[in-house]
Structure 1
Amino acid sequence: MNVSIGVIIALYLLVATCLVLLSDKASVYVDLLDKKTTLSGAFIGGVMLSAVTSLPELFTSISSALLLDKPGLAMGNILGSNLFNLVILSILVPLFLTTFTKVNIAKSHFMVGLFTWLIFGALALNYTGILDLSLASISLTSVVIIVLYVCGIRCLSQEESSFEDGDDQNPLTVQQVLLRFVVVAVGIVTLSICITYLTDDIATTFNLGNGLAGALFLGIATSLPELASSIVLFRMGNYNIAIGNIIGSCIFNFMILGFTDVLYLGHGIYDFSDPKTINLLFFGAIATPLFLLMTRYNKKSVCIATSVGIIACYLAFLVV
């Protein structure tokens, strides 16, 4: 049955909206777990919250590769999501510049950002053929990505908690919060798979490349949870959790590539056939060190300059 492109786009917008609402709800439950445990804000944002808001990237990437057999769509999704995540931070930081520059940014965020940058390097080596090697049908690039992700998690887990007991007034128990979280996560998974198929229909109808379609339709739609949760966290002044969510999502997204490569059974997830994918890799590799400068030296001049630079990278990707 043929469905008009107008209906497909309307469904896409509906699914994307529901995805944001569910992910926002999941963020609330993760925040409750933060208040009911002694885990650090860096760990909460960089691991727990980022894993929740990155569920769309996880299942859309798996669906793109395994169900649609379009690894290029998965590559565009991950690289596009990461660049868009940094743009989110670059828009919010100038809006909250006065208070943001007064906060001590956790050192672990810088380290996770550094590991993320190294992953960009590994992908670049894969593209040039230097790291395009396989070990038991698993790309050596995937092994590097997973190792660097584990290193990032270790850095975040070593951060000490700054939360003080007594501020949690919510009557829900930890078990009740976890149950609600699981229900919301199932909804996120379902919508993520739906939006993959809708994106494929849009890309086919408008004759878009997999890299461009993945970056615009999948990359932005699956980054909406990060956008919604980051806005809330910035308004609350929880900058460390917000930054952890952004950079944690970026490195988690790369881990998704490695995981998908394993499931793809040696077919090769690292597809650079679309020029837009190469552009995403290039501009993402430039934007990530700007993030490092922003978190290492969160002074007004540095924050403004790096924010402008990251936004310029995204705009350049759209134009080039």
Structure 2
Amino acid sequence: MMVMLLPWLKLAACVVMIGVAGPILVRNGDAIARLTGLSRSWIGLVLLATATSLPELLTGVSAVTIANAPNIAAGDALGSCVFNLMMLVVLDALSRKPSLYSRVDQGQVLTAGFGVILIGATGAFILLEQHGVGGQLFHVSLSTPLIVAIYFVAMRAAYMYERREPRPQDAAEADRGTALRKALQRYAAAAAVVVAAGTWLPFVGTELADVMGWRATFVGTLFIAGATSIPEAVVTVSALRLGAADLAIANLLGSNLFDILILAIDDLVYTPGPLSAAISPTHAITALSATIMSGIFIASVLYRPATRLWGTIGWSSIALLAVSLFSSYASYLIGD
């Protein structure tokens, strides 16, 4: 009994650590945005998304180098994309009125659009590599340099978009410098706690999966991805409660871009050959699901639907939830 209970207690400890540090991370990220004149969307896209996605990076690298478990690495990265987009359902439910999609800056569509490109391309290359036609350079898939290039183009495009609308900075020059330094210090301390707990999560998740007897693709796509996405979940909900919906959503969308970049990094350190050729084709379904969900988000932000089912969530969120459940079921049913 204790053998099965101990991993759950470890998981709870990780969640508590992240639950304490997450709101601190958000508050100081928001302060950095105000003090520098940068938008909440940019801070969420870069600072928060990177800090909350580092557990996926460490999990992926260790999975393909130490554990020789490429399916865990791919499932974690792509499953996290689905999990992050499913978090929009939670945010919509917490938003009540007005709908979440009517509160979001339409600049988020730019990031979501790049997410469609990156995730969709990744799914396509997985299928191509399964038939040996994807192409490779040494042991690396040709998709890897493409993913890296698109990621940095996305970051630059988002930065240039935000620069079109300069924002006022809080406080006088001298006071702003002191306040910014303190905000950065507190942000770094909270980020360290989130990264430490998030790094511990995949090991706890693997231990729990072994105890429960779950399969590798299912574990990577659903359980490990869910575990390493807890930082995004806590930070995102904290941002929404702070009244910073754009900060919350930018964190989720930015994390998706970073998760695909992680797959490219995993491919670089996986020496037996292209990572996409060594993993289950089931991951292409996960990538397709995340692409569809990104498309639903884009359509919702542009259309701004007002109808809500039982006054709780909109039909867009129901569609996101349905695609997410389909992805999880497919992974469980046909995963290796």
Conserved in 1, the CA contact under 8 Å of 2:127 and 2:284?
no
In 1, the alpha carbon distance for the partners of 2:178 and 2:223 equals 37
The count of residues paired between Structure 1 and Structure 2 equals: 317
Cα deviation, residue 268, structure 1: 3.4
% identity of equivalent residues: 22
Conserved in 2, the CA contact under 8 Å of 1:122 and 1:144?
no
1:134-184 deviation digits (Å, cap 9, x = unpaired): 224322121221122112111210214564334799996333333333333
Q: 1:36 to 1:208 in 2, by over 3 A?
A: same
Q: 1:60 to 1:265 in 2, by over 3 A?
A: same
Look up the match of 1:75: 74
Cα deviation, residue 214, structure 1: 1.9
Look up the match of 1:254: 260
Look up the match of 2:158: 156
Cα deviation, residue 310, structure 1: 0.7
1:28-55 deviation digits (Å, cap 9, x = unpaired): 3222211211212221111122112212
Look up the match of 2:225: 219
Conserved in 2, the CA contact under 8 Å of 1:119 and 1:144?
no
Look up the match of 2:105: 105
SS in 2 for 1:128: helix
TM alignment of 1:208-247, pairs within 5 A? 208-247=214-253
Q: 1:67 to 1:170 in 2, by over 3 A?
A: farther
Q: 1:35 to 1:278 in 2, by over 3 A?
A: same
Conserved in 2, the CA contact under 8 Å of 1:82 and 1:250?
yes
Whether 2:119 is the aligned partner of 1:120: answer yes
TM alignment of 1:149-298, pairs within 5 A? 149-158=151-160, 159-160=162-163, 163-166=167-170, 173-265=179-271, 267-270=273-276, 273-274=279-280, 277-298=283-304
1:115-138 deviation digits (Å, cap 9, x = unpaired): 211222222222222663222432
Look up the match of 2:57: 58
Conserved in 2, the CA contact under 8 Å of 1:23 and 1:52?
no
SS in 1 for 2:275: coil
Runs of at least 5 residues in structure 2 that lack an aligned partner in the other structure: 331-336
Look up the match of 2:334: none
Conserved in 2, the CA contact under 8 Å of 1:230 and 1:242?
yes
Cα deviation, residue 75, structure 1: 1.1
In 2, the alpha carbon distance for the partners of 1:15 and 1:24 equals 15
Look up the match of 1:30: 29
In 1, the alpha carbon distance for the partners of 2:199 and 2:51 equals 15
Mean Cα displacement is larger for which, 72-81 or 111-120? 111-120
Conserved in 2, the CA contact under 8 Å of 1:63 and 1:196?
no
In 2, the alpha carbon distance for the partners of 1:292 and 1:208 equals 34
1:305 maps to a residue whose letter is: W
Runs of at least 5 residues in structure 1 that lack an aligned partner in the other structure: none
Q: Normalized against structure 1, the TM-score is what?
A: 0.87
In 2, the alpha carbon distance for the partners of 1:103 and 1:235 equals 14
Look up the match of 1:137: 139
In 2, the alpha carbon distance for the partners of 1:200 and 1:102 equals 39
Q: 1:163 to 1:225 in 2, by over 3 A?
A: farther
Q: 1:102 to 1:183 in 2, by over 3 A?
A: closer
Conserved in 2, the CA contact under 8 Å of 1:77 and 1:214?
yes
Mean Cα displacement is larger for which, 222-231 or 95-104? 95-104
2:57 maps to a residue whose letter is: L
Cα deviation, residue 267, structure 1: 3.8
Conserved in 2, the CA contact under 8 Å of 1:41 and 1:240?
yes
Whether 2:326 is the aligned partner of 1:316: answer yes
Q: 1:50 to 1:284 in 2, by over 3 A?
A: same
Cα deviation, residue 88, structure 1: 0.9
Q: 1:185 to 1:269 in 2, by over 3 A?
A: farther
In 2, the alpha carbon distance for the partners of 1:121 and 1:102 equals 26
Q: Normalized against structure 2, the TM-score is what?
A: 0.83
Cα deviation, residue 313, structure 1: 1.0
In 2, the alpha carbon distance for the partners of 1:288 and 1:279 equals 14
Cα deviation, residue 98, structure 1: 1.2
1:157 maps to a residue whose letter is: Y
